[in-house]
Amino acid sequence: MRERAGLFPSDDGWSVVERRFDPEYFGKAESLMLCGNGQLGLRSSHEEAYAGQTRGLYLAGFWDDTGNESAELPNLPDPSAMDLTLDGARLDLLACPPSEYQRSLDLRTGELVRSFAWSSGQGKPWRLTFRRFASMARPGVLAFRTELEPPEGGGSLGIRVGIDGRVTNSGTQHFTDGDRRVERGAVLEYSARTLDSGSRLRVRASFGFKAEGGLSGHLSKRFVSERRRLSCHLETRVGGPVVFERWAMIHSAPAAGPFQPERDPPMDYQALLEESARAWAPYWALAPDLESARPEDAWSLRTAWYHVWAMTPHPSKRLSVGAKGLSGEGYRGHVFWDAELFILPCVASVFPRAARSMLEYRVDRLSAARSLAARRAYQGAMFPWESALSGDDETPASAGMDKDSGLPVPVHAGLREVHVSADIAHAMAAFARDSGDSFVLDQGGAELILELAWFWCSRAAWRGGGRRCDILDVVGPDEYSERVDNNAYTNYLAHESLESALDLYGDWEPGRPAPAVLGPLWERLDLAKRHGTYRRVRDALYLPLPGPDGILPQDDTFLGLPSIDVAPYRVAERKQAILFDYRREELNRLQVLKQADAVMLMYLRPDMLSRDQGVATYRHYESRTVHDSSLSPGVHAVVAARLGLRDEAYARFLDALDVDLGPRPHSSDDGIHAAGLASVWMAAVQGFGGLRMDESGLSVSPALPQAWSSLSYFVRWRGRLVRVRATQASVELALEDGPPCDVTVLGSALRLDGSLLVRADGSGARHG
């Protein structure tokens, strides 16, 4: 029976498996089967070349400008390709289909394995196995292994490997053609510079037969240096199984700075793999897991967890995570608001130091945020909607074509989706509160919070004779509602930003000494003078409230607009299919949402509405949401779970899985949806697992879907490590590390000192 095309769970739920070679799934598999380690991301293109593949290797933080276009992560010179000739025929699975084909990504180790039998049709088949991974222990290293077994009687073998600098980003070349050399007849080195920034890159690669017992003829080796390519051609006869191993190492350096000295790795694939697996082990030791009548749920959660850590930079790098991680060219590798509100909570839950590094990325670009605010005639600092290396605004001016006029569609986000600045302030304050780590506040985070609040003091408009502040002409999270006034999400987050700034003052009042925590900022930012302005704007800022029907207005006009049936667009084969029927200006005059907006606000402020108001607001907006953003289903799942709408929450959870892990073959062609995968963790842990961390402390109130028999997860909170295991009947907390603490479990205030077991009805707390 012919295998189904697509990507599926392995039988044990710990691998992503492809059982049929199908070009229709090239892009999706390249993204989902990514080999990554937080520094490098290698798309899983096949070693041999095929039309329709998008080869890609990306280095975290290594952006380059592109002339008139915005900066992007360049596609690096490629060391992964391999041309194989078997008995005189070039390996080509399209010309001659393979048998016994399987490709799998082991989520625990990040090793990608592809195996099959192949013949050109002129002889007996060879058996081939290709292996690769990105080392978690050596972040700049990739390792490859090819196992070849000839047919009985042996056969001829030709191999071409090397470093290919002919790669581009969809046709845009980022590198000069650099120096090339071969060391000791075994190590290839290719150097290049980026065209705009002049940043330098050095790629080293080496190879060799691990066991030459299978070689039955003379080994011919020839090095070839061509324009933008350095390669080696090997030819021999093979009488039995042989193993061919390779490694590649990526070095980068600024235009004027030196390369950091690093030793070449050993030519020992298995030793490198075991070393990398040990480095992966701490991440899996703290991974969430679940038991479900639907096994795909656990597999999906593990796949999401793998990708979170495959794209999260090492804490020492002071970098954030782009919208596609390191898995593709989508969004040019830019950093958006979802880094702080979707990915950072997942990262901070178990490895706060890595989350702090993401915030340090913003601190390092505070000067650029000040400049952007000044250019737009505001005070303080405003962060751009899309950010890269410099911190300048990388948002494109237009995207796509209008369906009627054929003209480019303006992108309003760069000028008007200003909630990103409040999102960053929220993340900074929440991280300091929940982690107990004040380092980032002491090293620029406090200044960032103060400057962002100062921006809102100038962005808000005084109206009503100076009695009220409104925030006008914005785009909230729902990008189908453009240029609106008093977007509830934006106003409430701006209000929180002002509150966070005032919290830094403590109980200070005019005439008192400056708070010690603000140190030299007091004079430099003239904080005594600012204090009154912060407070006046906070107190006057308009905060929309629910109407008699219990629904929170999304903005000043949304609830007065007509509605349409969005159901056909929610199940459309492609996202944003609604734009084929409606222009953006038309959508702006309808109650149609691209993604969570008021519901996103409910996610961040779960106690702002009563339950009845929350249910009314959720149902009104969800029924009008197309979920054309990968950020939307997971947030809806969390909010629905908190409201007690478990069936609804589980349906939205499945929608969140479907974004990248569903059957659609082109859903992830230009990379995985980084925040969408992080939202799988959000839905499982914050939604069904009931995890909350806020001003009142740590609370856990699980409410599992009927399909799940258990859910377990870990959380680090103020220097403690807590393990949570929930079932349909009870919830258990165990203090794995740190001092005892007060917690709230299913609404009951308890002391955690060792372990706690609480029945699902909230009764019978038992201490262990």
Q: Which residues are catalytic?
A: 479
DSSP 433-473: HHH---HHIIIIIHHHHHHHHHHHHHHSEEETTTTEEE--S
Calpha distance 606→82 (Å, rounded): 53
Region for 141 from its dihedrals, namely left if φ exceeds 0, alpha if ψ lies in -120 to 50, beta otherwise:
beta
Burial 31-45 (b: 16+ CB within 10 A, else e): bbbbbbbbbbbbbbb
Q: 388: Cβ–Cβ under 8 A, 6 or more apart, which residues?
A: 63, 70, 71, 72, 332, 333, 334, 335, 394
Q: Which residues pair with 114 in a beta bridge?
A: 103, 130
**Cα gap 437→440, rounded to integer Å:** 7
Q: How many CB atoms lie within 10 A of CB 617?
A: 26
SS3 content of the chain, % helix, strand, coil (to 5): 30, 25, 40
Contact criterion met (CB below 8 Å) for 45 and 27:
no
CA-nearest of 656, 726, 701 to 301 is 656
- Report how far Cα 585 is from the mean position of its chain's Cα atoms: 31
Ramachandran angles phi, psi of 322, nearest 5°: -80, 170
C-alpha 125/C-alpha 148 separation (Å) is 11
> If you count them, how many residues does the chain have?
768
Q: Which residue has the tokens 């082109």?
A: 666
Instruction: Provide CB contacts within 8 A for 466, sequence distance 6+.
Output: none
Tell me the two tokens of residue 336: 């958006």
Burial class (CB in 10 A: 0-12, 13-18, 19+), 539: exposed
Distance in angstroms (rounded) separating the CA atoms of residues 162 and 189: 9
